[in-house]
Structure 1
Amino acid sequence: MSDGLFDGVLAAGPVAEWVDDAAWLRAMLDVEAALARAEADAGLIPAAHAEAIAAQCLPEYYDVASLGAAATGVGNPAAPLVRALTARVEGEAARYVHFGATSQDIVDTAAMLVARDAVAALAEDVVACGELLARLAADHIDTVQAGRTLLQHAVPVTFGLTAAGWLSGMDDAADRLTALTFAVQCGGAAGTLAALGERGPDVVSHLAARLSLAEPVLPWHTERGRIATLAGALGGVSAAVAKIARDITLLAQTEVAEVTEQGPGGGSSTMPHKRNPVAAVSGAAAAAQAPGLVATLLSASAHEHQRAAGSWHAEWWPLRELLRSTGSAVHWLRTSLERLHVDVDRIRANAELTGGYALAERVTSELVTEHGVGRAAAHDAVAACCAAGKPLVDTLAADPLVGAHLSTERIAALLDPASYLGSARVFVERALRHHAQQTGRKQ
């Protein structure tokens, strides 16, 4: 649990309140109330007893710190909560608190409730990021930008294509979130619900319906695919954020300056001139938490027999932190994109920085394919011109072999970045159509 000092960066945004201690306590109490009512629905206990139990399932009746301290003696927080709840229920109804269930039923189902609400909250930011990225891609579909491979200038792209790549990653992450299902857990002591007799499956159905959760085929106490799938989806969101945030911070470098974050913040404690891309940096920091947390959840997936000895317990903290940090990451990315200013003039200037050197291969290709020059001879001639380190158009035009076949105007046209964009526009349009289809709109 964070002490709050770093929450401004790593626990920012709306998700944090959906995964805090109060949210988990509320979820566990919601499960206990729904369990009692589900058992009444199935005819196992009187409805009046179920309502008496549910009436005591209010968070304000319980102290999180006390429950946490008591959990150390039994190894989970559900057991002390059940004792405290039972103590508040009067009369015969107290006998039916937590009837037929086990602690893992309560904690796992609470985890599904917490995760469902947290994912819904972070999904709103994911959708908003998608819209902002789609707008960037559309607005800059023809803005020529230097492509960069291994951090060096390569052949040209467009800023629209860069943004479309970001959009595609975010849309894929959104798809994985949408595909998630959150299932109730109800198996009793060892996954048989023996204490409920033949009505166990009915209780599971009613419990799932009351909590608006999916009904699983069977209890999943030691089959943790759901947790692994959830972790993977959250990790995918963080990965998409990390990619975009990293690119923004690189494009915002003083020497590049193709984008800046406008608005408040961005200053330095010592250097007044600085304007740091704080939102992108914070998003990258939050996203960087995901790999370790996902790995912990995956490594904890091997549960022994019908109940795990430690692996289940190992899930609680990283699951909450993964939800929280992923929510923070996408919140910060949304903030960065909302503040993002694109300097079109600087992008174009940077694209022309190499003076056509990045497109020298076009000259070689034209000499070979259009003028019958041998590939080796063409390559050597163009390479020698590039090695001269002078304005490339003039150097190529003055070369005996190149100049004999290509005019200065033709060489300049071949070295124009805007004339060598391949299918960039097509790819941007495809990304925008896919995004529109995904969000249910026509474009």
Structure 2
Amino acid sequence: MTQSTDRYVHPLTGRYASTEMQRVFSPAHRYGTWRRIWLALAEAQQETGLSIPDAALEQMRAALDTIDFDRAAEYEKRFRHDVMAHVHLFGDDAPEARAIIHLGATSAFIGDNTDLILHREALELVRDRVVRCMAALADFARRWRELPTLAYTHFQPAQPTTVGKRATLWLQDLALDLEEIEFRLETLRFRGVRGTTGTQASFLELYDGDHARVDRLDALVGEKMGFSATYGVSGQTYSRKVDQALQGTLAGVASSVSKLAHDWRLLAHLREVEEPWEKEQIGSSAMPYKRNPMRAERICALARHVITLGIDPAFTAATQWMERTLDDSANRRLSIPDAYLTLDGALVLAENVSAGLIVHPAVVAKNLDEHLPFMATETLLMQATAGGGDRQELHERIRVHAHAAAGEMKEGRPSDLIERIAGDDAFGMDADRIRSLIDARAFVGRAPEQVDRFLAEWIDPVLDRLGSAAEARLGSPDIRV
């Protein structure tokens, strides 16, 4: 299909978001969901005693996905109302149901309940993508559990860790996000059948004042749409705090993938890791040698947008007047789909890089070896003290040598700390003895064992529970770099 070149095309659909997430927010799915909710309402009304003809229900079932969007646009142009446009269109497609479609309902009944369904479906996709990222990172952590690497605090050299242990930090953030996602899915409810201002007055009138039948109708429609509970009360809309909470969860996931992508970018600068690279991929139009971490950079860019989108529903929730005000509508049309579609694009890339992240062990070792003698000074101090030296005097000597060796490095020369200490008679150790004490594996503490325990206790059970389903639901996404 030829794409129009004289109209704006959203980058989320053109470049970033997966087909699965785009489908959730597609017009066909949204308006098909409208029709399913109208059908659920009519079925529940029949089941609770209203006179709803079988022929009406049969025609509605047959027309759930036969939506003529050109005719819908014509109706909307006439009525200036999207819900009424689709009520009329559905009536055209199911003429026996024309008189009962949307019976007793308000626009928020169809729009809000649909939004809750789309929230649920989109959040389930986010959950699956987070699980797949976790699976890829778990494999990475397990593979590199023992490889010592220089750790950083303040991005300054610190006590060594292992490459695998660092990956568990990324994993733990996503595991915490997954807990949050599952909580949101578990506690998400249906708006239900509430009427114009949430009082259910129109439905009470339909049922001649029978409160029990109105309650049953409310529960039935929710059950038919896959919800076990509805919110206790509503105005015209469900509380916009629901959107705020859900998009806050998305922003939390975005923070996690942004952090790991920033780490990848820093490690790429150190040449310790590298993104997957295509055979003919170009890193720079001007500098042919460049291999920029562009996927990690894109993750950070997309994640930033998701985080900022979390502000929209907070303002919306804070400024809703009384039973509702319509200044939420246009904002929600933009911010809710964009948050999911943007995060989806970031997670697709995060999984891709996690599964293909290249480690350069020789560079990792070189960077560590350059700084390891400084990390080992405490060990050298204890060894020399055990040999009869004065601890305070030796501490001062090491301090002087360390600063001098660091000065050499700042001038572009290699560190000579080992040679300086070996040449100091107060320590009584030659260079070979000092090097024998500086084994990187002796300075990583319990990092390898922590990787094993963390994966076994925290990650593997989650992957056993959710991994296969996530793999089955999601295909291999096209990475458009």
- TM superposition score normalised by structure 1: 0.87
Q: Is the 8 A contact 1:155 1:359 kept in 2?
A: no
Q: Which residue of 2 aligns with 1:439?
A: 463
CA displacement 1:203-250 (0-9 Å, x = unmatched): 221111211123224244252332222212222222221122222222
Return the match for 1:38 from 40, 44, 48. Answer: 44
Q: Which residue of 2 aligns with 1:300?
A: 316
Return the match for 1:284 from 261, 286, 300. Answer: 300
Q: Which residue of 2 aligns with 1:82?
A: 87
- 1:3 aligns to what SS in structure 2? coil
Return the match for 2:25 from 16, 19, 38. Answer: 19
Q: Is the 8 A contact 1:184 1:213 kept in 2?
A: yes
In structure 2, what is the Cα distance between the partners aligned to 1:241 and 1:374? 46
Moved more, 158-167 or 175-184: 175-184
| Structure 1 residue ranges without an equivalent (≥5) | none
Q: Is the 8 A contact 1:356 1:417 kept in 2?
A: no
Q: Which residue of 2 aligns with 1:104?
A: 108
Q: Is the 8 A contact 2:63 2:93 kept in 1?
A: yes
1:263 and 2:271 matched: no
Q: Which residue of 2 aligns with 1:114?
A: 118
Aligned AA (1:46)? I
Change (3 A) 1:258 1:210: same
In structure 2, what is the Cα distance between the partners aligned to 1:82 and 1:435? 48
- State the 1:378 CA deviation: 4.2
1:148-167, aligned counterparts within 5 Å? Answer: 148-167=152-171
Moved more, 97-106 or 209-218: 209-218
CA displacement 1:50-109 (0-9 Å, x = unmatched): 3344444435233498279649945xx334323433454425x32221112221121111
- State the 1:137 CA deviation: 0.8
Q: Which residue of 2 aligns with 1:214?
A: 228
Q: Which residue of 2 aligns with 1:348?
A: 365
- State the 1:142 CA deviation: 0.5
Change (3 A) 1:8 1:97: closer
Aligned AA (2:40)? A
- State the 1:326 CA deviation: 1.0
1:200 and 2:200 matched: no
- 1:156 aligns to what SS in structure 2? strand
In structure 2, what is the Cα distance between the partners aligned to 1:321 and 1:68? 27
1:143 and 2:147 matched: yes
Aligned AA (1:85)? F
- 2:149 aligns to what SS in structure 1? strand
In structure 1, what is the Cα distance between the partners aligned to 2:93 and 2:354? 50
| Structure 2 residue ranges without an equivalent (≥5) | 1-6, 205-210, 406-414, 466-481
In structure 1, what is the Cα distance between the partners aligned to 2:390 and 2:8? 68
- TM superposition score normalised by structure 2: 0.81
1:399 and 2:424 matched: yes
Identity %: 21
- 2:370 aligns to what SS in structure 1? coil
Change (3 A) 1:301 1:95: same
Change (3 A) 1:262 1:371: farther
- 1:289 aligns to what SS in structure 2? helix
- 2:195 aligns to what SS in structure 1? coil
Return the match for 1:245 from 254, 261, 264. Answer: 261
TM-align CA RMSD? 2.9
- State the 1:344 CA deviation: 1.8
Q: Which residue of 2 aligns with 1:126?
A: 130
- State the 1:408 CA deviation: 4.6
